[in-house]
Structure 1
Amino acid sequence: MEQIEMADDIIIFPEFDKIKNEIERLRIELSMLLLERDELQFVICRNIEAKYTLEFGSIEYRAYEAQCTALRLKRKIELIQAKRNRQEPVSIVAIEEILDQEFASYQKQLDERISKMNEALQWKESDALSESDSKELKMLYRKLVKILHSDMNPERTDAQRELFEHAVTAYKNGDLATLRMIDAMVGSETLVKQSGDTIEQLNEEKRRLQNLLKKIQESIAQIKTRYPYTMKEILEDEEKTEQLRQQYEEILGQYEERILFYRIKIEEMMGKSHE
């Protein structure tokens, strides 16, 4: 009986299907991890930061403002002393202009803190989604992640990339209506066509997805080690919340003492300069 030789490049279909199934499993896992990461970034951390700002924003602002004032007064003393050392006339107006320039970045940070407080107040006043709407929001977003996210679909078009950016913005803002509209546009579209792939291409895609999974897992872990997520434990514990408030009060008190000391020092220096 004649023996039939098998060509080296013949695809063993069970293996082919096994890899395709593994890739689909990885894609599902990746879409869930991407949703977890974005939920962490755009919802959980955003809520934590808003709660933290409402709880500590006022005292934190006052403490930072006092710090800026103390640093400015200290620098003012240095500039006055420099003028006196050179036996030059001291112009407070000119010195204040110099200080305005040197401390412009501090003022910018103070303004940013006010903006954060306004955002937190707006968040407090906004209407929260119902439990069912929240579930639908996550479901639609995860579906769009699978279809439009660059990690899931490296060959997406510019139009698809822009559409996904709109989806991300809608998810951040809890805009269910916009996500529904985008979902209606893309339908059940899939950008990945594996039917013509070879075993080598499928294995390469499998490795790519495995590497992405690892990176997303690391990203989630890093987010949980940074502000504002690190404030979650404090906000959930009344004792720790009160301890942090007292720390801010102590810092504010220390800077207020320095401010008083520096102002008295400046008055003494200016009194001597007019003698």
Structure 2
Amino acid sequence: MKCDYMNENTRILTLKNEVNLLRDKLAEKIVLMDHLQLHVCPNLDTDYILKFGSLKQKIETNRIECEKIKMKIGLIEKQLNRKSRLNLFEIDEQIENEFGKQNEYLKEISAKLTVTKNHGLKEELKGEDFKKLNHVYKETLLLLHPDLVDNFDYTMENYLLNVIEAYENYDFNTIKSIKVMTINSNFPKSKEKNIKELLELINLLKIRIEIINKDLIKIKDSYPFNQIDFLKDEEKVKEYKNQLNEEKKNYIAEYNHYEDIEDRIINNVDI
């Protein structure tokens, strides 16, 4: 009996060690995920917008203006074919109504561009400061994150949200303070688990690690992270800007072409 008890205790201790290792591994994955989502990707998106945003905004504006003038020509011809008196005010009003969503979209692009230019790139922590921030962040997550603790509750959720916000703002002191408060708090302690419960927890942690690994792959394969090498290549950036400028010129030329058509039609009509 004593031998069975010792074997069971040994087994429980081994499983607890595995749980701790998996929790630590999962915490590292969560830190990496948050680092990509809160720091790396926003900065890459900002960098992309600062490099190409203005040009893309002009291209989209010119493209929509081309669509508008083509529609205007069609409406003018339609009125003329009906032998109606040409009403340009009515036509312009109809076009603006038709393009309401596109106009709102252009306003959103403009607003995002303005905000991005005003805030610029977020300065990142380097070297030891970054390591310290990530280290204290991981330790605090181990105390508060729902995937890493058994006794997660509303108070812990509020702490966690503050920790994530502090991490986003590189606020080391706030994270450290919340860590200390958590350690000294009266949160209910996790109850001791038997072998079956520990095996179930190990399985859940492995599943969570697998899920977050897939999420990390998705982030790295999608915008803006997939632009990281491109944005660092000055020649490719320059080449893409040239392409965008050429596209902008083409839309301007297209608009001028349709504007000439519109002018010829209107000049031959009594309004």
> Which of 12, 16, 20 is the aligned partner of 1:16?
12
Cα distance 1:107–1:138, how it changes in 2: closer, same or farther (>3 A)?
farther
Offset from partner CA, 1:7-66 (integer Å, 9 cap, x none):
9x9971211111111111110000000111111111111111111111112212211221
1:173 and 2:169 aligned: yes
Checking the alignment, whether the CA contact within 8 Å between 1:50 and 1:119 is kept in structure 2 is no
Structure 1 counterpart of 2:9, which letter?
Answer: F
What is the TM-score of this pair, normalised by structure 2? 0.86
Q: 2: distance between equivalents of 1:40 and 1:167?
A: 16
Post-superposition shift, 1:178? Answer: 3.4
Q: 1: distance between equivalents of 2:42 and 2:264?
A: 48
Matched pairs, number: 271
Structure 2 counterpart of 1:167, which letter?
Answer: V
> Which of 85, 107, 123 is the aligned partner of 1:89?
85
1:229 and 2:202 aligned: no
Partner of 2:179: 183
Q: 1: distance between equivalents of 2:86 and 2:186?
A: 73
Offset from partner CA, 1:92-134 (integer Å, 9 cap, x none):
2222223223323223332332333333334437665464443
Mapping of residues 137-176 of structure 1, within 5 Å: 137-153=133-149, 155-176=151-172
Deviates more, 1:131-140 or 1:258-267: 131-140
> Which of 25, 29, 50 is the aligned partner of 2:46?
50
> Which of 168, 188, 209 is the aligned partner of 1:213?
209
Q: 2: distance between equivalents of 1:45 and 1:102?
A: 35
Post-superposition shift, 1:167? Answer: 2.1
Post-superposition shift, 1:265? Answer: 2.0
> Which of 256, 262, 267 is the aligned partner of 1:260?
256
Q: 2: distance between equivalents of 1:250 and 1:197?
A: 66
Partner of 1:241: 237
Cα distance 1:65–1:199, how it changes in 2: closer, same or farther (>3 A)?
same
Checking the alignment, whether the CA contact within 8 Å between 1:234 and 1:241 is kept in structure 2 is yes
Structure 1 counterpart of 2:235, which letter?
Answer: E
Checking the alignment, whether the CA contact within 8 Å between 2:47 and 2:121 is kept in structure 1 is no
- Secondary structure of the 2:221 match is coil
- Secondary structure of the 1:224 match is helix
What is the TM-score of this pair, normalised by structure 1? 0.85
Deviates more, 1:37-46 or 1:261-270: 261-270
Structure 1 counterpart of 2:232, which letter?
Answer: E
Checking the alignment, whether the CA contact within 8 Å between 1:153 and 1:191 is kept in structure 2 is no
Q: 2: distance between equivalents of 1:68 and 1:106?
A: 7
Q: 2: distance between equivalents of 1:35 and 1:192?
A: 25
Cα root mean square deviation, aligned: 2.9
Partner of 1:111: 107
User: Structure 1 stretches of 5 or more lacking a match?
Assistant: none
Mapping of residues 25-40 of structure 1, within 5 Å: 25-40=21-36
Checking the alignment, whether the CA contact within 8 Å between 2:142 and 2:148 is kept in structure 1 is yes
Cα distance 1:215–1:267, how it changes in 2: closer, same or farther (>3 A)?
same
